């Protein structure tokens, strides 16, 4: 079994790789961003801290987190971003480290998608760390296709570790500039590496 972290910059293809790898290993999947969203929406303690530390307007009338407003605030105010991370990151880590402990106990593979894996010094928890990367032009095109405001995209990228450093620190780099078929082939190759190193058939 292996505990595998997947990271990379926004629009690099982390989620696509994760979804390709999961059935190949097979592996349980956790998404750190999804865990954070669920905490924002469903944890009353998180809501109270976010309203006090970020903005009273961080939640809509129906009680759901206004992630667009939260993003606007934190990417214009580094101190607000730090406060949000202090609220969410320890709770998110508790979830996936508990899942990793269970996976090791039960001898199962686990994939954890963490955009800020290196930035949060989480790499020591994983047997493999994959950095998914692509060229800036491809990244810009994918962000535009999502309809993301270019200024916001650049603000997000500015808060993340440079891709070259993420690549240098990874145990495996997946280059995702090409077709889905090319990504599928790399996924199959990596699954084979995991099987060989964990001595699976």
Q: Is 49 inside any structural domain?
A: no
- Whole-prediction pTM value? 0.92
Task: Match 């699954």 to its residue by tokens.
Answer: 191
Answer yes or no: is 17 within a domain. Answer: yes
In angstroms, the CA 55 to CA 53 distance is 6
Q: Is residue 12 part of a domain?
A: yes
Residue 15 has pLDDT above 90, yes or no: yes
Is 26 a residue whose pLDDT tops 70? yes
Do the domain assignments include residue 136? yes
**Percentage of the chain exceeding pLDDT 70:** 99
For the segment 30-62, what is each residue's pLDDT rounded down to a tens digit?
A: 999 999 999 999 999 999 999 999 999 999 999
Looking at the chain, the whole-number percentage of residues with pLDDT higher than 90 is 86
pLDDT of 176 strictly over 70: yes
Containing domain of residue 105, as a range?
3-34+95-197
Question: Both tokens of residue 190?
Answer: 């990596």
Tens of pLDDT, residues 135-151: 999 998 999 899 888 88
**How many residues can be counted in the chain?**
201
Element (H, E) at 142: helix 136-146
CA dist., res. 137 & res. 124, Å (int): 31
Within a domain: 44: no
* Domain count for the chain: 1
- What is the CATH number for 102? 3.40.50.300
- Provide mean pLDDT across the span 158-172: 94
On whether residue 40 sits in a domain, the answer given is no
């Amino acid at each position: 079994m292996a505990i595998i972290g997947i990271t990379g910059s926004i629009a690099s293809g982390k989620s696509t790789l994760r979804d390709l790898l999961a059935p190949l290993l097979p592996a349980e999947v956790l998404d750190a961003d999804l865990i954070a969203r669920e905490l924002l929406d469903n944890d009353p303690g998180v809501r109270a801290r976010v309203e006090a530390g970020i903005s009273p307007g961080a939640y809509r009338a129906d009680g759901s987190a206004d992630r667009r407003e939260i993003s606007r605030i934190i990417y214009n105010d580094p101190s607000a971003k730090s406060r949000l991370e202090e609220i969410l990151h320890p709770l998110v880590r508790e979830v996936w480290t508990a899942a990793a402990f269970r996976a090791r106990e039960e001898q199962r593979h686990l994939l954890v998608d963490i955009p800020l894996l290196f930035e949060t010094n989480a790499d020591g928890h994983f047997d493999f760390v994959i950095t998914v990367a692509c060229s800036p032009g491809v990244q810009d095109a994918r962000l535009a296709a999502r309809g993301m405001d270019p200024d916001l995209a650049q603000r997000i990228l500015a808060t993340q570790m440079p891709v070259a450093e993420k690549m240098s620190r990874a145990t495996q780099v997946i280059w995702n500039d090409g077709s889905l078929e090319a990504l599928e082939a790399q996924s199959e190759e990596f699954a084979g590496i995991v099987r060989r190193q964990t001595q699976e058939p």
